Amino acid sequence: MNRDNVSAVAMAIAVIAIIVGFGVYFNSPSLNKASSSSQQQLEKVVSAATTTNGTIKSIKLDKAQFLQIDKSQFQKAPEFAQIAGYIHTPSNAPLTLASLKGKVVLVDFWTYSCINCIRTLPHLNDWYQRYADKGFVIVGVHSPEFEFEKNYDNVKAVVQKLGIKFPVILDSNHGTWNAYGNMYWPRDYLVDTQGYIRHDHIGEGDYNTTESAIQSLLAEGAALNGMKDISFNTAISTTTINPGSLAYVDLTKQITPEIYLGYSFARAPLGNPQNFQPDQTIPYSIPPNTNFNPDIIYLDGQWKNNPDNMELQSNTGHIILTYNARAVNIVAGGHGQRGIVTEDGATKILNNSLGKDLTPDGKFVLDGQRLYNLALYNNYGSHSIIINVSGKGFQLYTFTFG
């Protein structure tokens, strides 16, 4: 075995050890209970020292109390690994977790075509704006789900479009994703000033709990640094997310789960009798009198079955889906291909349900590989969408809902 192979094996063993360690940590009742108890101890100390005047929260700090918090059951956060690019770092220079020691760091795993990730961004931007001057930083770890999300220019354009102000690092080969043993988009790890992971949250929601943890860790860091008090303005600095926004979601409602079109990703069959046929170009058709089942995609036209998408090979094609949600989006790719959207048997999509990426007559044009919002209703309900596509090379990756 040559030197390169030995190094590769050593690296593989190290990564496996980290993943196993995190697996034990996050799935061990005894460790979870111990770390939860220590975190509750921190929250108790902070709560007892807090006074509130309107939107201003003030905390008196006693270093001795914070020194008593047992951190032995917390894991050290792994260093960022195999990063392919940097956005919003000073001069777009490399950024390491070690260089952020002394700050409270929220490590946010996301990817730009993920609607669940996009919906968390107003909250992340708000926190970053309100707490950055207190020693808080967010690092968005962009770990792609699809191959096109590895492109630096694509990520940079979306970061600008979405108004993300905090640093973003490109984890294109999932080195950092694997080091953390992560399996989800989005996922947030909150790291204290000494580098310990103190809070872990999967998915959307529960923002008040995460914000409270941020405040507690900032108070702890200030106390350990010798400060006698710290205060926070808890007034939300961004516009409240209203029900008419694409960023709004009511997680208590029945919502169709994400539907993947690539045969390597698909969790459900197509509605067509031909189903998925890996790497083949299939002339799909919809039999007369078809009973369209909900949450199942039906195709018409010639489509190539790719691992992560279906790609139109004929000049025209049709996509039909019945779903339950307030909003429907597609992740699609191409340049110049067009689509016309109709809903619920109408000849034209209604103005009050037009998606953000549609023209008033229900049309859209692909301008790259990204998420396109096709319909946005005021309320949740069951709907049927038909997308009439023109242009060979139209790539359809997923349907997502809100």
> Per-residue DSSP letters for 139-206?
EEEE--SSGGGG-HHHHHHHHHHTT--S-EEE-TT-HHHHHTT---SSEEEEE-TTSBEEEEEESS--
Equal fold, 3-233 vs 259-401: no
What is the arithmetic mean of pLDDT over 223-251? 83
pLDDT band at 23 (very low <50, low <70, confident <90, very high): very low
Q: Say what the pLDDT of residue 14 is.
A: 36
Look at residue 21 in the predicted model and tell me its pLDDT.
45
Domain boundaries, the chain: 3-233, 259-401
Q: What percent of the chain has pLDDT over 70?
A: 90
Is pLDDT at 402 greater than 80 in this prediction? yes
At residue 43, the pLDDT reads 86
16, pLDDT greater than 50: no
Higher pLDDT, 137 or 16: 137
Report how far apart, in Å, the C-alpha atoms of 301 and of each of 176, 264, 348 are. 40, 21, 22
User: Which of 20-24, 161-165, 355-359 has the lowest average pLDDT?
Assistant: 20-24
The amino acid occupying position 126 is D
Let me know the angle formed at the C-alpha of 55 by 53 and 61, rounded to the nearest 5 degrees.
65
Q: Which residues contact 3 (CB under 8 A, 6 or more apart)?
A: none
pLDDT of 187 = 98
9 phi-psi bin (left φ>0, alpha ψ -120 to 50, beta other): alpha
3-state SS, residue 312: strand
Asked whether residue 7 carries a pLDDT value surpassing 70, the answer given is no
CA dist 158 and 118 (Å) reads 10
CATH of 259-401, one of 1.10.600.10, 3.40.50.2300, 3.30.70.60, 2.60.120.260: 2.60.120.260
Question: Looking at the predicted structure, is the pLDDT value of residue 358 above 50?
Answer: yes
What does the pLDDT look like over 242-276, one tens digit per residue? 767 777 888 899 999 999 999 999 999 999 999 99
Q: Which helix (H) or strand (E) holds 331?
A: strand 316-333
Average pLDDT, the chain: 89
The predicted structure's pLDDT at residue 41: 83
Predicted pLDDT of residue 35: 61
> CATH number of the domain at 3-233, out of 3.30.70.1400, 3.40.50.720, 3.40.50.970, 3.40.30.10?
3.40.30.10
Which alpha helices (DSSP H) does 188-346 contain, by range?
207-224
How far is residue 65 from each of residues 41, 43, 68, 271, measured CA to CA in Å?
10, 12, 5, 62
DSSP symbol at 11: H
The answer, yes or no, to whether residue 45 has pLDDT greater than 70, is yes
Looking at residue 81, its amino acid is: A
pLDDT band with cut points at 50, 70 and 90 for residue 27: very low
d(CA 105, CA 214): 9
DSSP lists the bridge partners of residue 316 as 390
DSSP 220-240: HHHHHTT-SEEEEE-S--SPP
pLDDT at 223: 97
> Is 90 exceeded by the pLDDT of residue 15?
no
- pLDDT score at 245: 76
pLDDT value at 32 more than 60: no
Mean pLDDT of 180-202: 97
Which residues contact residue 53 at a Cβ distance below 8 angstroms, ignoring those fewer than 6 apart?
Answer: none
Residue found by looking up tokens 């529960």 in the block: 206
Residue-wise pLDDT for 152-168, tens only, equals 999 999 999 999 999 99
Burial of 33 (0-12, 13-18, 19+ CB in 10 A): exposed
* C-alpha distances in Å from residue 11, one per residue of 2, 6, 21, 81: 14, 9, 15, 12
Note the residue count of the chain: 402
| pTM of the complete model | 0.86
Per residue in 108-135, pLDDT (tens digit) is: 999 999 999 999 999 999 999 999 999 9
- Whole-Å CA distances, 193 to 93, 127, 146, 244, 350: 22, 17, 33, 38, 52
